[in-house]
Structure formats: structure tokens, C-alpha cells
């Protein structure tokens, strides 16, 4: 049968969709981009933000007509939204055209469920939280599950044990569980054999990888093993958690030639009182220690972070502490977010919700400070030469190419006179700095 996947949400979800596609192709189905051609519509939902959940529900509702046009068509809804309280019941009662409803724990059973539904027409609902089923993995049809020819993402652990008070993930993705290193390494070897150059290791908290394994593996030992795989040129990972980040890890990375010198370490707030309210389990002093270690071992490292503005109870004084922290920390870039109330999380129940207009003003002040820092750090790179892995034509200017430095900075540069292909690494001299990216020229 022909299937079409519509994905909402983050990179983890995008990767899950690729894995499901691989499994279905291995089971004899074929993926299409156009829903009108498909026999099976798969909606991989996300509930991390309320807006993504509402958009997913709207889209699922719109498929009623698609199903009515041909009763043999199958509508599948999966992903973490299903695991959130009340949603599977809502779909069961009010979205009768949805034939298969599966949560995050049973996603690997999708091919089996499709076969069963196609044969009997009986609705399947599997949303139980359990840990006895196989995790979602790649099917045998590896090439089609790779994002593009040269970069692939690999899940190394699933779930989260941290329960940050603003986040729904631990409630919908379950407790932390790590994949066995042999499985991960075998998968990366296969990917390297089909030409993949860059590997991105994914987990809600990669730094706690291995804590649930009996063989003593940890994230540093996994990176060391991946570094030994021939054909792989760059290794990236996300997401790190400052609580489990360590000096040993930085020291290990400093000794590995393929692990990129980019540290994305979400700070979330520069105020200890708010960090405690967020249940982040570290203080700014510990976070600063991580920054010192990174800069001591890897002075060229790019360091980026995430900040949430307007967390419940955040006063002007708390916010100013964050601003000062940012000025001292001097991140290369910060992904800044307005706190958004997520039902089902403890923070949504907190009394002192910050006014939207105050949040927006604070966000702007934070961005003004950060943009200046980002630009001044980038300006210091002008004149230097760095290896850039080519992504392809620039989105904004098709006459230019775009790629990334080892530190994950985007560089735009004119195409070489010789043939080029995505995934190739060029020495590029930086000629101009902007806040968000760099311009350069290839040293031929």
C-alpha cells in the first residue's frame, strides 16, 4: 500500500517518522508525498506545545472527508499527543474516521497493526505506557530513512527522568531507556557504508546515556566508539542537560577528532530561584563551571543555549539576573522562548503567571543583548579559515552555497568552479560576519 506521513513537532518526531517509514517500506509498503495518492495517512503528533496539538487535531479532523471518499483508506494517528491524558479518548469518541491510534510505546508495531486493520477493519487503540515492546528502529530499507545522502540522525536513548516543571515530555515519552551501544554502532556502520558523513545522536538527555545499562557504557564511551567508525566525518548530538554534563565528557571530546566542537547546553534561566522552580537541578554556579571547562579544553568551541522568558513567578529582578548572566557567559547564540503554559505540567498550575506583554518585552531585551554578543563573536572570525560541510544551495540566494562549520555556524559562499556535492567539506575563508551567519569564499 502507499502511505503518506505528516509530522508535527521536533527533530525527534521527524526522526521517528523516518524510522516508521523504514519499517513500512521493509514490510512492502511505499511512501508517497501526496496524500491523494496514498492508501494510508499517518499523522505523527506532538504535544510539547499547545499550538502543535491544536494544529494536529485540526489536520486529523480534515481527513474525515479523505476517508469518506474511499472507505479502504486508513488513518493512523501516533506520536506523543496520543499519550497525553484524555487525547486518545477524544480521538476514539469524536474522530471515528481514525482507524489506528498508537502511543509512543507501541510505534514499532505499526506495520503489524496496519496489516491487521486492513484485513479486519477493526479499530486498533494501543496507548498503554509499557516497556516490554521493542523501540522504534530502522527497517531494512536504510537509504530511504536517511534525511538526505550525507546526514543521518540516530536515537540513542528515549524518554526522560527529569520532570522539568514546564515540560510534558516525561509524561508522554516515559522513563529514560538507552539503546545498547552495539545496536547503535551497527546502525552507524550501515549508514557510513551508504555514504553518510555526519551523524547526529539524539536523545532528550544524551548526557545520561547508559545510566540504565549494566555494561558500564556512558555517553563519553559511546562517542569514543562512534569516532572510530570509518567514513563518518562529523558527530553531533542533542540535547544535553547541564545536570549530567561533566568535565570528563569535555576532556573526552577534546581527544576525539570527529566530534564537533559545538556545545548546546540549555541554561533556561540565569536566576537560581527560577531554576529551582523549573526543577532543573543545577545552579548557575555549576553551569558556569561547565563553561569554564569547555573553554579551557576547547577554546575554539561554539557554545549555544536555550532560555525561557517569563516563567511563572519571574520578577523583573530575576529577569535582570538572566540578562547579566548572558552578558557574562557570552554564548555564540541563544534560542529564546516565551514561556508557554502547557496543561498537564506543574508550571501550568503555578499561580503567578507572567503577563504576555511583559514576557514579550523581556524577550526583546534579551534578544537585543544576545544579538550584539553573537555578532561580535562572529566578527572575530573574519579572516580565519575553517572547514565547512556543504548542505547545498543557499535558501535565500540560489547562486550561493550554504554549509556549516564544525561549530555549527552557517556559512554562505560562492560555488566552486569544479563540481560539488552536499556533504563535501571545503576550506572556507570567512570574509563577513552577520548575527546569525557568516559569509566566506572557498580557498581553492
CB of 414 to ligand SF4, least distance (A): 40
Least Å from the CB of residue 278 to ligand SF4: 8
Residue range at the interface with ligand SF4 (CB under 6 A); choices 31-39, 157-165, 195-203, 321-329: 157-165
Considering only residues 206 through 265, tell me which ones interact with ligand SF4, judged by CB under 6 A: 241
Using CB under 6 A, which of 7, 13, 153, 204 touches ligand SF4?
204
Least distance in Å: CB of 127 to ligand SF4?
20
Sign of CA dihedral 163, 167, 171, 176: negative
**Looking at beta carbons only, is 243 or 295 nearer to ligand SF4?**
243
The verdict on 340 binding ligand SF4 (CB under 6 A) reads no
What are the residue ranges of helices labelled H in 44-180?
A: 50-69, 80-83, 87-94, 110-120, 169-173
- CA torsion 217-219-220-221 (nearest 10°) is 30
- 172 phi and psi angles, rounded to 5 deg: -110, -15
Instruction: Point out which span in 92-100, 165-173, 250-258, 367-375 binds ligand SF4 (CB under 6 A).
Output: 165-173
Pick from 81, 12, 7: which is nearest to 50 by CA? Answer: 81
CB 437 → ligand SF4: shortest distance, Å?
27
The window from 16-24, 156-164, 214-222, 418-426 that contacts ligand SF4 (CB under 6 A) reads 156-164
Q: Could you give the CA distance from residue 32 to residue 324 in angstroms, rounded to a whole number?
A: 50
Least Å from the CB of residue 376 to ligand SF4:
30
Sign of torsion over alpha carbons 48, 50, 52, 56: positive
* Conformation bin of residue 397: beta by default, left when phi > 0, alpha when psi is -120 to 50: beta
- What is the chain's Cα-based Rg? 23
Cell numbers 514561556 label which residue? 339
Q: How far apart are CA 418 and CA 225, in angstroms?
A: 35
Contacts of 163 (CB under 8 A, 6+ apart): 170, 279
Q: How far apart are CA 388 and CA 429, in angstroms?
A: 10
Q: What is the dihedral of CA 16, 22, 27, 30, to 10 degrees?
A: 110
Rounded CA separation 412/59 (Å): 36
CA–CA separation, 100 vs 357, rounded Å? 42
Other C-beta atoms within 10 Å of 33: how many?
Answer: 8
Other Cβ atoms less than 10 A from the Cβ of 283: the count is 13
Closer by beta carbon to ligand SF4, 75 or else 308: 308
Residues 383-422 that bind ligand SF4 (CB under 6 A): none
Instruction: Measure the CA angle with vertex 342, ends 336 and 344; round to 5°.
Output: 145
Q: How far is the CB of 160 from ligand SF4 (least distance, A)?
A: 3
Residue from the set 87, 205, 269, 345 that interacts with ligand SF4 by CB under 6 A: 205
Q: With respect to ligand SF4, which residue has the nearer C-beta, 205 or 217? A: 205
- Residue 163 near ligand SF4 by CB under 6 A: yes
C-beta of 170 vs 387, nearer to ligand SF4: 170
Measured from the CB atom, the residue of 91 and 169 that comes closer to ligand SF4 is: 169
Task: State how far the Cα of 381 lies from the Cα of 431, in Å rounded to an integer.
Answer: 9
Site for ligand SF4 in 166-185 (CB under 6 A): 167, 169-170
- Give the distance from CA 347 to its chain's centroid: 23
Q: How far is the CB of 337 from ligand SF4 (least distance, A)?
A: 11
Residue from 164, 226, 291, 308 touching ligand SF4 (CB under 6 A): that is 164
Which of these, 103, 112, 111, lies nearest to 84 by C-alpha position? 103
Binding mask 62-91 for ligand SF4 (x = CB under 6 A): ------------------------------
* Residue span binding ligand SF4 (CB under 6 A) among the ranges 126-134, 161-169, 252-260, 410-418: 161-169
Closest distance of CB 67 from ligand SF4, Å: 34
Q: How far is the CB of 176 from ligand SF4 (least distance, A)?
A: 9
Stretch that binds ligand SF4, among 111-119, 163-171, 288-296, 415-423 (CB under 6 A): 163-171
* Number of chain positions touching ligand SF4 (CB under 6 A): 10
Taking CB under 6 A as the rule, does residue 138 contact ligand SF4? Answer: no
Task: CB nearer to ligand SF4: give 74 or 167.
Answer: 167
> Residues 162, 190, 200, 224: which binds ligand SF4 (CB under 6 A)?
162
CB of 442 to ligand SF4, least distance (A): 38
* Chain contacts with ligand SF4 (rule: CB under 6 A): 160, 162-164, 167, 169-170, 204-205, 241
Amino acid at each position: 500500500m502507499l502511505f503518506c506521513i505528516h509530522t508535527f513537532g521536533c527533530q525527534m518526531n521527524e526522526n521517528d517518522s523516518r524510522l516508521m517509514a523504514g519499517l513500512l517500506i521493509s514490510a512492502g509498503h511505499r511512501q508517497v508525498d501526496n496524500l491523494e495518492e496514498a492508501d494510508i495517512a499517518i499523522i505523527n503528533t506532538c504535544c510539547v506545545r499547545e499550538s502543535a496539538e491544536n494544529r494536529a487535531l485540526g489536520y486529523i479532523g480534515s481527513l474525515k472527508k479523505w476517508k469518506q471518499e474511499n472507505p479502504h483508506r486508513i488513518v493512523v494517528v501516533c506520536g506523543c499527543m496520543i499519550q497525553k491524558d484524555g487525547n486518545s479518548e477524544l480521538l476514539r469518541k469524536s474522530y471515528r474516521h481514525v482507524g489506528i491510534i498508537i502511543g509512543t510505546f507501541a510505534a514499532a508495531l505499526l506495520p503489524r497493526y496496519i496489516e491487521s486493520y486492513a484485513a479486519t477493519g477493526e479499530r486498533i487503540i494501543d496507548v498503554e505506557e509499557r516497556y516490554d515492546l521493542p523501540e522504534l528502529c530502522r527497517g531494512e530499507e536504510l537509504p530511504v530513512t536517511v534525511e538526505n545522502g550525507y546526514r543521518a540522525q540516530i536515537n540513542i536513548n528515549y524518554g526522560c527522568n527529569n520532570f522539568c516543571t514546564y515540560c510534558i515530555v516525561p509524561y508522554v515519552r516515559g522513563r529514560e531507556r538507552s539503546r545498547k551501544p552495539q545496536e547503535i554502532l551497527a546502525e552507524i556502520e550501515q549508514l557510513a557504508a551508504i555514504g553518510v558523513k555526519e551523524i547526529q545522536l539524539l536523545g532528550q538527555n544524551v548526557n545520561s546515556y547508559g545510566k540504565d545499562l549494566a555494561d558500564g557504557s556512558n555517553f563519553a564511551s559511546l562517542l569514543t566508539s562512534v569516532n572510530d567508525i570509518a567514513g563518518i566525518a562529523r558527530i553531533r548530538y542533542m540535547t544535553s542537560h547541564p545536570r549530567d554534563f561533566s568535565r570528563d565528557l569535555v576532556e573526552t571530546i577534546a581527544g576525539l577528532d570527529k566530534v564537533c566542537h559545538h556545545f548546546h547546553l540549555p541554561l533556561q534561566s540565569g536566576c537560581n530561584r527560577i531554576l529551582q522552580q523549573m526543577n532543573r537541578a543545577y545552579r548557575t554556579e555549576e553551569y558556569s563551571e561547565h563553561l569554564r571547562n569547555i573553554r579551557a579544553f576547547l577554546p575554539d568551541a561554539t557554545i549555544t543555549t536555550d532560555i525561557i522568558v517569563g516563567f511563572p513567578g519571574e520578577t523583573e529582578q530575576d529577569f535582570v539576573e538572566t540578562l547579566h548572566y548572558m552578558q557574562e557567559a557570552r554564548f555564540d547564540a541563544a534560542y529564546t522562548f516565551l514561556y508557554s503554559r502547557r496543561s498537564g505540567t506543574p508550571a501550568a498550575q503555578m499561580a503567578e503567571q507572567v503577563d504576555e506583554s511583559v514576557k514579550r518585552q523581556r524577550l526583546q531585551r534579551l534578544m537585543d543583548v544576545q544579538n550584539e554578543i553573537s555578532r561580535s563573536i562572529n566578527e572575530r572570525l573574519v579572516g580565519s579559515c575553517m572547514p565547512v560541510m556543504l548542505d547545498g544551495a543557499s535558501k535565500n540566494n540560489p547562486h550561493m552555497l550554504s554549509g556549516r562549520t564544525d561549530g555549527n555556524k552557517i556559512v554562505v559562499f560562492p560555488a566552486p568552479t569544479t563540481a560539488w556535492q552536499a556533504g563535501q567539506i571545503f576550506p572556507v575563508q570567512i570574509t563577513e560576519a552577520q548575527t546569525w551567519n557568516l559569509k566566506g569564499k572557498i580557498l581553492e
